[in-house]
Structure 1
Amino acid sequence: MARVRLSVSERREELLRAAVGQIEARGVAAVRISDVAAVLGVSSALVLYHFSTKEKLVAAAFAHAAQGELARLRALLGRRAPALERVHDAVRWYAPTGGAKGWRLWIEGWAAALREPALREPARALDQQWKAALAEVVAEGTAAGEFVCADPVSAAGRLTAMLDGLAVQMTSYAGSLPPATMLEWADEALARELGIDRAALGRPGE
C-alpha cells in the first residue's frame, strides 16, 4: 500500500515526533538520523532534507516537545475553575508521575545542553514560561482571596526547583522514592507556598 503523501509541515511534524521518541529511548548522544528514518520507514536522506544535520533535528525536536508541553499547560491553567484547583492540577501534571512529557527527554536535554548551546533555548523557554504561567495563576488566586502568597514569582521558582529535583531522583534512581511519597511532598510544598492547610488539597491520589 502506497504511503500517503504528506505536506512539508505534516512531514516535519512526523519526523519531530519520531525524533522525540528516539531521544527518549536512546539518548541524545546515541540517537542517529538513521534511527529516526527507520521508525517511519523513510530514508535518512529525507530526514536530512528537512533538517540538514542531526544537531538541527535534535534542537527542533526539543523545541517541538516544549511547545506541546506549553500548549497543554496553558489549557490546564486556562480552565474556568478556582485558582487553587488549577495550580494543584498543574503541579500534579508537571510532577514526575503526572502527564507531562517523559522526564527522560528533559533530563537528556539538560545534560546535552551543557555541551550543545543550541539545546539550551528550548529548555530555558519551557522553564521560564512554565514558571510565569504558574506565578500568574498564583497571583490570581491571591487576589481572589483563595489563599495567601506574598511573592508568586518566587513561589513558582521554588516549586519548580523541587519538582525538577524529584524528577531527577525518580528517573535516575528508579524505586528510590515511592510515587505516593513524591506527590505528598509536592502537595506539602504547594500548601506551604500558598499558606493553606495541606488537607485542603485532598489525598495524594485525588
Structure 2
Amino acid sequence: MARVRLSVAERREELLRAAVQQIEERGVAAVRIADVAAALGVSSALVLYHFSTKEKLVAAAFTHAADADLAHLRKLLGRRTSALRRLRAAVRWYAPTGQAKGWRLWIDAWAAALREPALRSVFRDLDQQWKSALAEVMAEGAAAGEFPCEDPAAAAWRLTAFLDGLAVQMTSYAGSLSRAAMLRWADEALARELGIDEGELHSSTR
C-alpha cells in the first residue's frame, strides 16, 4: 500500500513524534537519525531534509514534547475553579507517580543539555514558562484571599525544584518511595509554599 502523502507540517509532526518515542526508548546519546527513519519506514535522507542534523532533530523533538506538556499545564491552570484547586491538580499531574517513562525522557534531556547549547536553551525556556504559569495562579489566589503566599515567583521556583528533585529520586531508585507518600509530600510542599495548613488544602479541594 502506498504511503499517504503528507504536508510539510504533517511530516514534521510525524517525525517529531517518532523522535520523542525513540529518545524515550534509547536515550539522547544513543538515538540515531536512522532509528527515527526506521521507526516510520522512511529514509534517513527524508529526516535530514526536515532536520539537517541530529542535534536539531533532538532539540525540535524536546520542544515538541515540552509544548504538549505546557499546553496540558495551561489547561489545568485555566479551569473555572479556585486557584487552590487548579494548583493542586497541576502539582499532582506534574509530580512523579512511579510510571517513569516521561520523567526518564526529561532527566535524560537535562543531562544532555549540560553539553548541548541548543537543548539548554529549550529547557531554560520551558523551565521559565512552567514557573511563570504557576506563579501567575499563585498570585491570583493570593489576591483573591484564598491563601497568603507573599512571593509567588519564589514559591513557584521552590515548588518546581522540589518536584524535579523528587522525580529524579523516584525515577532513579524505583520503589524507594510509595506513590501515596510521594503525593503526600507534594501536597505538603504546595501547602507550605502557599502559606496554609495541609488540612486546608484537602478541605478546599474536595
TM-score over 0.5 for the alignment? yes
Residue pair 2:63, 2:122 contacting (<8 A) in 1 also: yes
Does residue 1:35 correspond to 2:39, yes or no?
A: no
Note closer, same or farther for the CA distance 1:69–1:117 as it changes in structure 2 (3 Å cut): same
Residue pair 2:100, 2:171 contacting (<8 A) in 1 also: no
> 1:73 is matched with which residue?
73
Does residue 1:144 correspond to 2:155, yes or no?
A: no
TM-score by length of 1: 0.94
TM-superposed deviation, 1:22: 0.8
Cα distance in 2 for partners of 1:61, 1:108 equals: 13
Query: Which aligned segments of 4 or more residues in structure 1 are displaced greater than 6 angstroms?
Result: 98-101
TM-superposed deviation, 1:111: 0.2
Among all aligned residue pairs of Structure 1 and Structure 2, give the percentage whose two residues are the same amino acid. 79
TM-superposed deviation, 1:101: 7.9
Aligned residue pairs, count: 204
Q: Which runs of 5+ in 2 are unaligned?
A: none
Q: Deviations over 1:9-52 (max 9, x none)?
A: 00000000110111111101100111111111111111111101
Residue pair 1:94, 1:100 contacting (<8 A) in 2 also: no
Query: How big is the alpha-carbon RMSD for the aligned residues of Structure 1 and Structure 2?
Result: 1.8
Local SS of the residue matching 2:120: helix
**2:35 alignment partner AA:** D
TM-superposed deviation, 1:178: 1.2
TM-superposed deviation, 1:85: 0.3
> 2:122 is matched with which residue?
122
> 2:62 is matched with which residue?
62
Residue pair 2:98, 2:171 contacting (<8 A) in 1 also: no
Cα distance in 1 for partners of 2:63, 2:137 equals: 24
> 1:15 is matched with which residue?
15
Q: Which runs of 5+ in 1 are unaligned?
A: none
TM-superposed deviation, 1:176: 1.4
TM-score by length of 2: 0.94
TM-superposed deviation, 1:100: 10
Does residue 1:195 correspond to 2:179, yes or no?
A: no
> 1:158 is matched with which residue?
158
